[in-house]
Amino acid sequence: MSANPKGIVRLPQVEQLLQEPILAPYIRQLSRPLVTDVVRRTLAAIRQEVSFRTDGISDETLYARLEDDCRFLLNQRHARVINATGTVVHTNLGRSPIDPELWDSVADVNTGYCNLEIKLSDGKRGQRKGIVSQLLSSLTGAEEGMVVNNNAASVYLLLNELARGKEVIVSRGEQIQIGGGFRIPDILALSGAKLVEVGTTNITTADDYINAVTENTAMVLMVHCSNFVVRGFTESPDIREVARRLPEHVILAVDQGSGLSTERFAANETPSSNYIRAGADLVCFSGDKILGGPQAGIICGRKEIVQKLEKNPLMRAFRPGRMVYSLLEELLVRKLNRESEGQGVAEKAATGQAVIQERAQQLASELGDKVRLLPSEMVVGGGTLPDEFFPSWSLELQIDKQADQILADLRAMPLPVIGVIRNDRVQLNMAAILPREIPVLTEQLRSYLSL
Ligand SMILES: *Cc1c(COP(=O)(O)O)cnc(C)c1O
């Protein structure tokens, strides 16, 4: 390394920099090729800079630049964060966290070989879905259940198998977009089904559906409006009436979305079992919203229809692996037995207000007058229960700094914390904070607030 009085003019070799201890943790977490790439790009950028050409660069600055660039990449690696947003099933934060005990309990079946597709009774080829179908039947009251990779795949599969080249009747009030780019009319078009729109944005009646039926109608699809509500002069049909009046050849399918089942906190929402009881032939929902399991799409309904779906060649592309099946089995067993590990995070947060308050008070007492404890609200979020708020508690940080900057500081903590801004102040909502996160959150905040 040759330095002039002002700094280094000739930059070190890439290989030499990769030996520096300061880069070792990044190599460990990002791999050597990725760090090599970062170093090359950083050096190339520095070479282009006028300040470097005139003044050179000091060791210190060079290493700081390399670390910044490595850290930028490392921030993109999947890592734990603390969810202090008050949105419990947060799409951007991974939706439902899996209960740690549930996760541990499937480690064995996933780290060895398993009976995924073999019958232990006779050694012959078996069905991938194990006892999941029976468990889903028990949960929803449907004859049969099946699993795909996510609920978007459920909707696509049932349209493609049951309505390709035929008509599907959908209410104008339910032609919705859910999250990034999943639009019901687009999925319908892609699946090869033909959309028949009925009703209006606010009003659709049973007559609207029944009058639109032709010989070529394959399905009536009802879609839960997961992320908005229409208020005021509205009417949706009684599903029982639609089910009763639809002719035999038309399948009644409901995209229920959230997976609400045995949970008892969402009185205004319809659990899947109610749709089945009301006469729906099929109902589908996500595994990682209110159900609280792994990412999956679940379809429950009449045996002969589910079996038809399972034979669709797309199932080869849509079928989950054993990680999903094993987690779902364990979750459903515990859910049906009403064990705490089988209850999703939404249920726990919405029914755990006393715990949330206690935790908030504990944290507030540790942090003194730099925080203010105040009652707030939580939502389930993630496309589940639009417009339903549950009580929660939040800590408002009382420090003299721009709210945006505080949020950025929180994200830069060793275990990043995602907060929210309310009335220009940063708040940490306690609803989605997991018990084991309290000590580390306390420690991080104490250090941030210089306590
Ligand atoms: C969330 C949701 C979907 C999409 O489910 P993914 O599991 O994200 O694929 C589809 N329909 C409804 C009604 C939803 O709420």
pLDDT (tens digit per residue) in 4-51: 555 667 899 999 999 999 999 999 999 999 999 999 999 999 999 999
- Average pLDDT for residues 80-102, to the nearest whole number? 96
Q: Is the pLDDT of residue 177 over 90?
A: no
Q: Which CATH number is correct for 100-342, 3.40.50.300, 3.20.20.70, 3.40.640.10, 3.40.190.10?
A: 3.40.640.10
What would the 3-class secondary structure string for the chain be?
A: CCEECCEECCCCCHHHHHCCHHHHHHHHHHCHHHHHHHHHHHHHHHHHCHHHHHHCECHHHHHHHHHHHHHHHHCCCCCCCEECCCECCEHHHCECCCCHHHHHHCHHHHHCCCCCCECCCCCCECCCCCCHHHHHHHHHCCCEEEEECCHHHHHHHHHHHHHCCCEEEEEHHHCCEECCCEEHHHHHHHHCCEEEEECCCCECCHHHHHHHCCCCEEEEEEECCCCCCCCCCCECCCHHHHHHHCCCCCEEEEEEECCCCCCCCCCCCCCHHHHHHHCCCEEEEECCCCCCCCCCEEEEECHHHHHHHHHCCCHHHHCCCHHHHHHHHHHHHHHHCCCHHHCCHHHHHHHCHHHHHHHHHHHHHHHHHHEEEEEEEEECCCCCCCCCCEEEEEEEECCCCCHHHHHHHHHCCCCCEECEEECCEEEEECCCCCHHHHHHHHHHHHHHCCC
Segments making up each domain of the chain, as ranges:
2-74, 82-93+347-448, 100-342
pLDDT value of position 6: 57
Which residue shows structure tokens 């996160």? 437
Q: Is the pLDDT of residue 66 over 80?
A: yes
Q: Which residues line ligand 1 (CB under 6 A)?
A: 150-152, 155, 178, 182, 223-224, 226, 255, 257-258, 286, 297, 383
- In this structure, the residue with its CA closest to atom 14 of ligand 1 is 257
For the stretch 185-200, pLDDT in tens is: 899 999 999 999 999 8
Joined tokens for residue 209: 């559906």
For the stretch 225-258, pLDDT in tens is: 877 777 777 778 889 999 999 999 999 999 999 9
For the stretch 262-285, pLDDT in tens is: 998 888 889 999 999 999 999 999
For the stretch 393-414, pLDDT in tens is: 999 999 999 999 999 999 999 9
pLDDT value of position 235: 79
pLDDT value of position 2: 46
pLDDT value of position 5: 53
**What's the sign of the alpha-carbon dihedral 346, 351, 352, 356?**
positive
pLDDT value of position 381: 87
- Average pLDDT for residues 336-355, to the nearest whole number? 92
pLDDT value of position 1: 45
- Full-prediction pTM beyond 0.85? yes
80-90: b (≥16 Cβ within 10 Å) or e: ebbbbbbbbbb
**What's the sign of the alpha-carbon dihedral 74, 80, 83, 87?**
positive
- In this structure, the residue with its CA closest to atom 11 of ligand 1 is 257
The domain at 82-93+347-448 falls in which architecture? Alpha-Beta Complex (3.90)
Q: Which residues pair with 395 in a beta bridge?
A: 373, 428
**Measured in angstroms, how far is the CA atom of residue 232 from the centroid of ligand 1?**
25
**What's the sign of the alpha-carbon dihedral 273, 275, 281, 283?**
negative
Q: Which residues pair with 254 in a beta bridge?
A: 222, 283
pLDDT band of residue 382 (cuts 50, 70, 90) is confident
C-alpha 49 chain-centroid distance: 42
**Closest of 191, 84, 19 to residue 416, by C-alpha:** 84
Q: Work out which ligand 1 atom sits closest to the CA atom of 226.
A: 15
244 and 220 Cβ atoms separated by less than 8 Å: no
β-strand pairing of 390-397 with 425-429: antiparallel
**Closest of 142, 160, 139, 429 to residue 311, by C-alpha:** 160
- Average pLDDT for residues 195-222, to the nearest whole number? 95
- In this structure, the residue with its CA closest to atom 6 of ligand 1 is 151
C-alpha pair distances (Å), 228 with each of 46, 88, 380: 49, 17, 13
Joined tokens for residue 416: 């990043």
Q: Which of 255, 260, 384, 387 to mutate to test the pocket of ligand 1 (most atoms within 8 A of CB)?
A: 255
**Measured in angstroms, how far is the CA atom of residue 135 from the centroid of ligand 1?**
21
C-alpha pair distances (Å), 356 with each of 353, 380, 419, 426, 444: 5, 15, 16, 18, 19
CA distance 239 to 252: 9
**Measured in angstroms, how far is the CA atom of residue 285 from the centroid of ligand 1?**
7
Q: Which of 90, 96, 149, 151 to mutate to test the pocket of ligand 1 (most atoms within 8 A of CB)?
A: 151
318 and 289 Cβ atoms separated by less than 8 Å: no
pLDDT value of position 63: 97
Q: Work out which ligand 1 atom sits closest to the CA atom of 287.
A: 7
